[in-house]
Amino acid sequence: MTQGTHEPGSSERRPPSRRTVLAAMGALPVLTATTSASASTRGASGTAAATTAVVDPSARRQTIRGFGGMTHAAWAGDLTAAQRDTAFGTGEGRLGLSVLRIPVPENRADWSRDLATAKRAAELGATVFASPWNPPAHMVETFVHGSQTNARRLRHDMYGAYARHLNDFNGFQRNNGVNLYGISVQNEPDYAHDWTWWTPGELVRFLREHAGSLNTRVIAPESFNYTKTVSDPILNDPAALANVDIIATHLYGTPFTNFPYPLFRQKGAGKELWMTEVYYPDSTSSADLWPQALDVAEHLHHAMVGAEFQAYVWWYIRRSYGLLREDGRLSKRGACMAHFARFVRPGHVRIEATATPAPNVRVSAYQGGSSIVVVAINKATSPVSQQFTLKHSTASRLSSWLTDASRTVARQGTIGMSNGSFTVTLPARSVTTLVTA
């Protein structure tokens, strides 16, 4: 892969790539509520009133695997020891990531490059998985793909050898203290100008004939913008589907209207659905730009509620546009991720909640044991007085955390509850996380 496709260090000085254009498209409002908060009924204080957001723990949705990011030492440098703890720790000032994605280098000599971060993430309880960009060079042949005369693909007679390569990488990680949760067949097989192409038919063939020999969970297809024609053939082939554990995708340029996946709901029983790479809304703006960073919280909301993903994974953890700034401190984009990652932990279950109780307000809710977590996003330019009802709840108070233009995952103290009901003022352009005590 050339670094410029993902990496602004080289691409920001060139005309935008196809990925950059598509990523920017994803930032456009697509069939989302756009009514101004001024259209809502207002109290004497000028705070917009909203309908009650009802949270129902009896209506259970997907189980959450976690929220994470990518480390790729060859392209962006490794995280420092302190940055690993900031990324995967759960205390104040931490990101709370519970998933780490690492690359599968084609050369064995490079297999230890991301090991230190993988080991520390695993020690802190994170799920670690891996994605390859290319097979070893001797397994690859070139062919003509449209206008690309030197496109690469895995030779069909090397499918078995490639499966052994993936197994060997998994074994290397395990022998060095990292038990991979799963391994992908290919990163973005449908956007492979700089790496290895796979057709949907080739993916199905590999999954059907060779994925059963892989000794960890199998992830596919990691389409770059949730192109369903890449994953549909897997879901429609019982033999291929039997050998895949996680249907995964990326969301570059994917409009919110394309987030739901009815075929997965129909045929994906027993499988997991992950979003394994994205940056949003772009890779050229500072991650501290506000309120643009609030778009990350909205994107996460739609990924959880509309798409019902079980994992959500950012691209580089540390970058100017990333979850951590280059100095290793939490960015505003990272703060929006932390509102989910720190409090919605692996094993939590998303529960039904009124998703849009007011124009420009988004609500999602999760349950872990007896604790309920509510994430409320207000993209309006005015504060909103939001009432909540937690059905079947015996809790008497909640703790809250807030991010807005001047505060970053700042603890706000406790809120009293009476018969499962409470009211919170959501500041203008903010994200609030509420956790029952």
End-to-end CA distance of the chain: 48
Q: Which of 8, 30, 29, 36 is nearest to 20 (CA)?
A: 8
Task: Tell me if residue 188 is catalytic.
Answer: yes
Which amino acid would we find at residue 182?
G
Q: Count of residues for the chain?
A: 437
Across the strands, what pairs with 350? 366
- Are the C-beta atoms of residues 100 and 126 closer than 8 Å to each other? yes
Angle, alpha carbons 277-145-21 (nearest 5°): 40
Say if strands 148-154 and 196-197 run parallel, antiparallel, or are unpaired. Answer: parallel
How far is 303 from 298, CA to CA, in rounded Å?
Answer: 9
Other C-beta atoms closer than 10 Å to the C-beta of 164 total: 13
Selected catalytic residue, list 188, 222, 272, 298: 188
In the sheet with 148-154, reading across from the earlier edge strand, the strands are 140-145, 148-154, 196-197
158 DSSP assignment: G
Task: Tell me if residue 277 is catalytic.
Answer: yes
- Are the C-beta atoms of residues 376 and 340 closer than 8 Å to each other? no
Structure tokens at 291: 């309120």
Strands (E) located in 158-245: 182-184, 196-197, 217-223
Selected catalytic residue, list 106, 222, 272, 277: 277
How far is 169 from 304, CA to CA, in rounded Å?
Answer: 31
- Are the C-beta atoms of residues 383 and 411 closer than 8 Å to each other? no
Helix axes 200-209, 228-235, angle to 10 degrees: 30
Which amino acid would we find at residue 421?
S
Structure tokens at 314: 């950012």
Strands (E) located in 5-139: 48-49, 53-63, 66-70, 99-104, 127-132
How far is 368 from 355, CA to CA, in rounded Å?
Answer: 19
Across the strands, what pairs with 422? 388
- Which contiguous run of DSSP H or E holds residue 273? strand 272-277
- Are the C-beta atoms of residues 83 and 116 closer than 8 Å to each other? no
Which residues are part of the catalytic machinery? 188, 277
